[in-house]
Amino acid sequence: MIQLIRGFKDILPGEVEVWQHIESVARGLFEDFGFKEIRIPIMERTELFARSIGEDTDIVEKEMYTFPDRKGDLITLRPEATASICRSYIQHKMYAEDPVQKFYTIGPMFRRERPQKGRYRQFYQINAEIFGVASPLADVELIFLLKTLCERLSAGDVEAHINSLGCPECRPVFKTALQEYIASRTEALCSDCARRKDRNPLRVLDCKVPGCREAMQKAPSIIDHLCPACTQHFNTVQASLASLEVPFIVDKRLVRGLDYYTRTTFEIQTRSLGAQSAVAGGGRYDGLVKMLGGPDMPATGFAIGFDRLAEVVDLDKQAYIKKPDLALGIDGIQASMDFEGRSLKSQMKRAGRCGARYTLIVGEDERATGQAILRNMTTREQVSVPLAELVKNIKPLIKK
Ligand code: HAM
């Protein structure tokens, strides 16, 4: 038997209803906050992701599904959506009409990571991106939106972790301080970090290997190296979150696994998912649009891990599973019908199994008399209903 690919999964009926519910709550909220839906391709030129996410990141170095197409062009199954949304914003010159644009998109992403609970090779994200707003209040709006979504979905036990990664002015100063610190501990680093430490020392801060974590324990903090403008930006984020009563933790180790970030970065973390604690992650990426060939345009955004969110929401799954009201095809009533001409007994059994509340029996006798039998599957009570104007006659009888 052919099995699905490792790290991929089916989302089956029963689970799908929970996903539909999350999606509809998210869509409603995004629209209330003025975000418009955008749909971008599943594949892009490899170069787009390599340049945006960064050549020295785990995603680009080891996790992308990259292959030459039949003409030899290198293409990649998208590992994230931000790079594509920037490409689209630039390609369609959306900034010309109005630099401020707010987008959301929902769909699958692909990363060849080691599969475990909450970590898949095809996973789904809900993304939100705001272009053209330099104010820290845009970062705050995103974190507030995430908190509100978690509340609406009863995804309890989540907390916001925030940090600032500075800007092209102050980050090099921090990088130098970090490199000096790392130089005294190179023998403790894993081979990846030993290789990347000079070009991209921030990656060492993000490394999950225990030896590296240990070695970086006393590493300098970026927050102590921020320039006045970045400090002010970060202070406003914190003050505004506090005034909105959004609880947060300043987490100076939060550097994120993608290179495009500047200033505010954040994650929504939960304790209920074991090692994969981040339900959502994001931050500001003021340099990316320009780096990809667009105008100098600030931007900020996040992505929610849909699979992880679906695991932490506290929903009565049974309440979302749709069951037919009636085991027959009738307009305007959720119904299912037997097409196989089985015996009445086996049809009744199937109707019971599919969870129908009522069954309508229309046999030879009923057709002759013009009266069908409506059976309540719970109480087993039966009543006659005239076949003429059936829908009109049935609706009041099966009202919930
Ligand atoms: P990210 O932190 O790489 O950020 O991913 C965001 C979220 O996607 C994670 O917090 C996690 O919930 C989920 N996720 C990531 N990898 C997996 C996986 N293998 N299996 C299941 N869930 C996963 C980004 O992707 C950025 N593009 C976010 C962003 C948008 N930043 C600015 N705008």
Q: Which of 117, 308, 309, 311 to mutate to test the pocket of ligand 1 (most atoms within 8 A of CB)?
A: 308
Residue that the structure tokens 């959502």 belong to: 280
How does pLDDT run across 51-85, given as a tens digit for each residue? 999 998 999 999 999 999 999 999 999 999 999 99
Nearest ligand 1 atom to the CA of 120 is 20
Residue 392: the pLDDT is 83
Q: Please tell me the distance between residue 117's alpha carbon and the centre of ligand 1 in angstroms.
A: 15
* Residue carrying the six token digits 């015996």: 343
Decide: residue 12, CB within 10 A, 0-12 exposed, 13-18 middle, 19+ buried: exposed
Query: What's the pLDDT score for residue 318?
Result: 67
pLDDT band for position 342 (cuts 50, 70, 90): confident
Query: By alpha-carbon position, which residue is closest to atom 12 of ligand 1?
Result: 305
Specify the higher pLDDT residue, 8 or 366: 8
Read off the pLDDT band of 387 (50, 70, 90). confident
Question: Is the CB–ligand 1 distance for residue 280 below 6 Å?
Answer: yes
pLDDT at 138: 98
Instruction: Report CA(107)–ligand 1 centroid distance (Å).
Output: 12
Are 281 and 256 contacting, i.e. CB atoms less than 8 angstroms apart? yes
Output 324 or 189, whichever has higher pLDDT: 189
Q: How many angstroms does the Cα of residue 137 sit away from the middle of ligand 1?
A: 22
Across 316-328, average pLDDT? 65
Cβ distance 300 to 285 under 8 Å? yes
Q: How many CB atoms lie within 10 A of CB 237?
A: 24
Tell me the H-state helices in the chain. Answer: 16-32, 46-53, 58, 82-91, 94-97, 136-152, 171-183, 191-196, 202-206, 210-215, 228-243, 288-291, 306-312, 317-320, 344-353, 364-369, 390-397
Q: Are 193 and 299 in contact (CB under 8 A)?
A: no
Closest CA to 49 of 95, 81, 88: 81
Is 311 close to ligand 1, i.e. is its CB under 6 Å away?
no
Q: How far is the CA of 206 from the centre of ligand 1 (A)?
A: 15
Verify whether ligand 1 is closer than 6 Å to residue 111 (CB atom).
yes
Relative to beta strand 158-164, strand 262-270 is: antiparallel
Q: 277 alpha carbon to ligand 1 midpoint, in Å?
A: 11
Across the range 12-36, mean pLDDT stands at 96
Q: When comparing pLDDT for 227 and 361, which is higher?
A: 227
Q: How far is CA 12 from CA 3, 9, 126, 217, 306, in A?
A: 15, 9, 19, 43, 15
Contacts of 175 (CB under 8 A, 6+ apart): 201, 202
Task: Return d(Cα 301, Cα 281) in angstroms, integer.
Answer: 9
- 83 vs 320, which has greater pLDDT? 83
Confidence of residue 35 (pLDDT cuts 50, 70, 90): very high
* CA-based nearest residue to 130, from 147, 149, 111, 144: 144
Higher pLDDT, 20 or 397: 20
Question: Is the C-beta atom of 127 inside 6 A of ligand 1?
Answer: yes
Q: How confident is the model at residue 323 (pLDDT cuts 50, 70, 90)?
A: low
The beta-carbon contacts of 86-90 under 8 Å, at least 24 apart in sequence, are 86/52, 86/288, 86/289, 86/292, 86/294, 86/299, 87/40, 87/44, 87/48, 87/292, 88/38, 88/40, 89/131, 89/289, 89/294, 90/289, 90/292, 90/293, 90/294
Residues 375-379, mean pLDDT to the nearest whole number: 89
pLDDT digits (tens, 9 = 90+) for 246-262: 999 999 889 888 999 99
> 201-243, pLDDT tens digit by residue?
988 988 888 999 899 989 999 999 999 999 999 999 999 999 9
Q: How many angstroms does the Cα of residue 302 sit away from the middle of ligand 1? A: 8
* Position 343 confidence tier, pLDDT thresholds 50, 70, 90: confident
Q: What is the number of other CB atoms lying within 10 angstroms of the CB of residue 177? A: 17
Q: Give me the pLDDT at residue 327, please.
A: 59
Q: How many C-beta neighbours within 10 Å does residue 234 have?
A: 22
Q: Which atom of ligand 1 is nearest to the CA of 111?
A: 19
Q: 296 falls in which pLDDT band (50, 70, 90)?
A: very high
Q: By percentage, how much of the chain surpasses pLDDT 70? A: 94
Alpha carbon of 269 to ligand 1 centroid (Å): 12
**In sequence order, what DSSP letters do the residues of 22-55 get, joined into one string?**
HHHHHHHHHHHTT-EE----SEEEHHHHHHHH-T
Residue 341 tokens, joined:
């001409």
Ligand 1 contact via 82 beta carbon (within 6 Å): yes
Give nearest CA residue, ligand 1 atom 16: 119
Question: How many angstroms does the Cα of residue 306 sit away from the middle of ligand 1?
Answer: 9
Residue 198 has a pLDDT of 86
CB atoms within 10 A of CB 21: 17
Average pLDDT, the chain: 91
Residue 330 has pLDDT above 60, yes or no: no
Residue-wise pLDDT tens digits, 94-132:
999 999 999 999 999 999 999 998 999 999 999 999 999
Alpha carbon of 186 to those of 177, 191, 201, 209, 302: distances in Å? 15, 10, 11, 14, 33
pTM score of the predicted model: 0.87
Is pLDDT at 338 greater than 80 in this prediction?
A: no
Residue 371 has pLDDT above 70, yes or no: yes
* Residue corresponding to tokens 């030879």: 364
Q: Is 54 in the pocket of ligand 1 (CB under 6 A)?
A: no
Q: For position 340, what pLDDT does the model report? A: 73
Q: Is 113 in the pocket of ligand 1 (CB under 6 A)?
A: yes
Q: Going edge to edge, which strands form the sheet with 101-110?
A: 36-37, 101-110, 122-131, 299-305, 278-284, 262-270, 158-164, 248-250
Q: 36 and 234 in contact (C-beta within 8 Å)?
A: no
Any atom of ligand 1 within 6 Å of the Cβ of 87: no
Distance 95 CA to ligand 1 centre (A): 26
What is the DSSP track for 238-253?
HHHHHHTT--EEE-TT
Q: Among candidates 238, 48, 50, which has minimal Cα distance to 160?
A: 238
Any ligand 1 atom below 6 A from CB of 302: yes
Choice between 323 and 186, residue whose per-residue pLDDT is larger: 186
User: Per-residue pLDDT averaged across 80-91, rounded?
Assistant: 98
| Distance of CA 321 from the midpoint of ligand 1 (Å) | 28
